């Protein structure tokens, strides 16, 4: 009776924790989708590595989702094969999550160069790529910034160099001639590099913390 009760308790615990893993899988899918949408709103032209990160998070969430299904079914039906499959997959997921968290922390220190290069690329394509132009305007307005280091960066960009103006999204107050002969009194004098760098670092830390939290919970 004691052995039978103990097995029922183990069965219930395995089922319960797999349900929690299933919720974690759904959470990672949601985080991946949010990260993809957020990345699309920034003016930085994403590299293959950065643009693939949200997709990788979604894929990991889907894998955890189905792995927890194996665990739940294996515990409920007391299937040795399904529980073994679950244990193997969970071990692999654990290693991937640790690797992802380490990679995120390491990338955090390389954010500045990536962001600076991306912002300059976005500025050089301003007016030529409509989605990128809209993203740059929206970001400058939301973060009250202009250019990479400051508003004078626009003086080296195509049409703005010729007429001594900046995008209207740099204006403190959106008036008719606010972007003509810009000065700190009429346009934002802070560059977007610092703002975007801080925003990306904060989000990388959040994603890495979630990955580590789920990984140690799996242990």
10 CB-near residues (< 8 Å, 6+ apart): none
Q: Are residues 131 and 39 in contact, defined by beta-carbon separation less than 8 angstroms?
A: no
Count CB atoms within 10 A of the CB of residue 189: 18
DSSP classification of residue 42: S
Q: Are residues 151 and 166 in contact, defined by beta-carbon separation less than 8 angstroms?
A: yes
Rounded CA separation 11/40 (Å): 44
Predicted local confidence at residue 109, as pLDDT? 63
**Cα Dmax for the chain:** 88
- pLDDT tens by residue, 2-14: 556 666 777 777 7
Average pLDDT over residues 63-83: 74
Burial of 28 (0-12, 13-18, 19+ CB in 10 A): buried
For the chain, the average pLDDT equals 76
Q: Are residues 91 and 63 in contact, defined by beta-carbon separation less than 8 angstroms?
A: no
- Residue whose C-alpha is closest to residue 60's, from 34, 87, 24: 24
SS3 217: helix
Residue holding tokens 């990345």? Answer: 39
Q: Where are the domains of the chain?
A: 1-78, 80-218
pTM of this structure: 0.59
R_g (Cα) of the chain, nearest Å: 24
CA 193 to chain centre: 17
Predicted local confidence at residue 53, as pLDDT? 62
Distances (CA, A) of 137 to 130, 132, 153, 171, 218: 11, 9, 15, 10, 43
Count CB atoms within 10 A of the CB of residue 183: 8
Which range, of 21-35, 114-128, 151-165, 177-191, averages the lowest pLDDT?
A: 21-35
Name, of 19-28, 133-142, 189-198, the range with top average pLDDT. 133-142
Q: Which CATH class is domain 80-218?
A: mainly alpha
Asked if the model's pLDDT at residue 17 lies above 70, the reply is: yes
Percent of the chain clearing pLDDT 70 (strictly above): 72
Predicted local confidence at residue 162, as pLDDT? 78
Asked if the model's pLDDT at residue 48 lies above 50, the reply is: no
CA 199 to chain centre: 10
């Amino acid at each position: 009776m004691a052995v039978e009760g103990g097995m029922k308790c183990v069965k219930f615990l395995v089922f319960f924790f797999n349900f929690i893993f299933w919720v974690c899988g759904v959470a990672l899918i949601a985080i991946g989708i949010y990260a993809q949408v957020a990345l699309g709103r920034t003016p930085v032209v994403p590299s293959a590595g950065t643009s693939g990160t949200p997709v990788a998070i979604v894929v990991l969430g889907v894998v955890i989702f189905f792995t927890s299904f194996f665990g739940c079914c294996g515990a409920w039906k007391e299937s040795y094969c399904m529980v073994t499959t679950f244990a193997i997959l969970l071990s692999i997921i654990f290693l991937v999550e640790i690797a992802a968290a380490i990679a995120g922390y390491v990338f955090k220190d390389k954010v500045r160069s990536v962001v600076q290069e991306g912002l300059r690329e976005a500025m050089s394509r301003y007016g030529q790529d409509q989605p990128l132009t809209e993203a740059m305007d929206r970001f400058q307005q939301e973060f009250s910034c202009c250019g990479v280091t400051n508003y004078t960066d626009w003086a080296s960009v195509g049409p703005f160099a010729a007429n001594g103006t900046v995008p209207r999204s740099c204006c403190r107050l959106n008036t008719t001639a606010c972007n003509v002969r810009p000065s700190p009194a009429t346009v934002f004098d802070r560059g977007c590099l610092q703002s975007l760098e801080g925003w990306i670092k904060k989000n990388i830390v959040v994603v890495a913390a979630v990955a580590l939290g789920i990984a140690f919970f799996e242990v």
